[in-house]
Amino acid sequence: MSAERAGVIWHDAENGAYSGDLWLWEELASAAEGPILDLGCGTGRVALHLARRGHATVGLDRDPELIAALAERAEGLPLRAAVGDARRFELGEEVALALAPMQLAQLLADGAERTECLGCVKQHLLPGGRVALSIVERLPQASEGPPPLPDVREVDGWVYSSLPLDAVDIGEEIVIQRLRQTVSPAGELGEEENEIRIRTLAAAELEREGVTAGLVPLPRRQIPPTDLHVGSTVVLLERPA
């Protein structure tokens, strides 16, 4: 098992099964009159879903390994996979809708980086085009109940298990911790802790940054929580026609 291949497998295991937001991206894509841009697309959870429904889609991610996997999966679909940084990229085309699912905006370091990203997106939007950004404004209250189940994949006899351990709001950041375990075909167990930090962010703050970038806020949307995932606020911004 190569480190590169493991990166794709872990991304698929920890993100690929989530479908609680797809209805909204599909609704917005159906209303858009032009191509769709999926920012931070990874291996294509959202981009592939939209392309399979006939939407011309561009998937953008800064990780060449994930983009290579997406390009293979996109064969025969109206989907282009592109390597690029969400803060500064050049597609060579304009889009009617840009999507930033899975708290991509909160992976950026600060307001300056988010404004830079939104400004770059604006330059790629058709007049009247929109950008939709999913964020977690706050963590829900801890509830009693059974512990979460791990996300599990099996590839070529290897078993990959990623167990959510905790999510803690520490003020400026939300820290998400997971335990990653692998079991080889010979039964050997390996494990490591994985941590992701996302910036705390209010919808109103992101909207102000959108205005700074030359975009106009529209009414927000909500993605309800599921048994395994918290709900999200979706900030909608429009490029003036």
Average model confidence (pLDDT) for the chain? 94
pTM: 0.93
Which among 107, 56, 95, 48 has a CA at the least distance from the CA of 74? 48
Give the model's pLDDT for residue 129: 98
Domains (ranges, CATH) in the chain?
3-138+201-238 (3.40.50.150), 151-198 (2.20.130)
Cα–Cα separations (whole angstroms), residue 52 to 42, 49, 127? 17, 5, 26
Which pLDDT tens digit goes with each residue over 138-188?
887 665 556 678 999 999 999 999 999 988 988 899 999 999 999 999 999
Whole-number Å distance between alpha carbons of 189 and 174: 29
Which pLDDT tens digit goes with each residue over 8-61?
999 999 998 899 999 999 999 999 999 999 999 999 999 999 999 999 999 999
Specify the amino acid at residue 130.
R
Q: Which helix (H) or strand (E) holds 52?
A: none
Q: Which residue has the tokens 């003020």?
A: 171
The answer to whether 164 and 155 are in contact (CB under 8 A) is: no
Which among 7, 16, 135, 133 has a CA at the least distance from the CA of 68? 7
Rg (CA), the chain: 18
- Phi/psi of residue 115, nearest 5 degrees: -65, -40
Whole-number Å distance between alpha carbons of 28 and 93: 19
Whole-number Å distance between alpha carbons of 126 and 240: 9
User: Which residue did the predictor score with more confidence, 5 or 184?
Assistant: 184
Statement: residue 227 has pLDDT above 90: no
Give the model's pLDDT for residue 146: 65
Between CA 175 and CA 183, with CA 180 as vertex, the angle to 5 degrees is 175
Whole-number Å distance between alpha carbons of 48 and 223: 20
The answer to whether 203 and 220 are in contact (CB under 8 A) is: yes
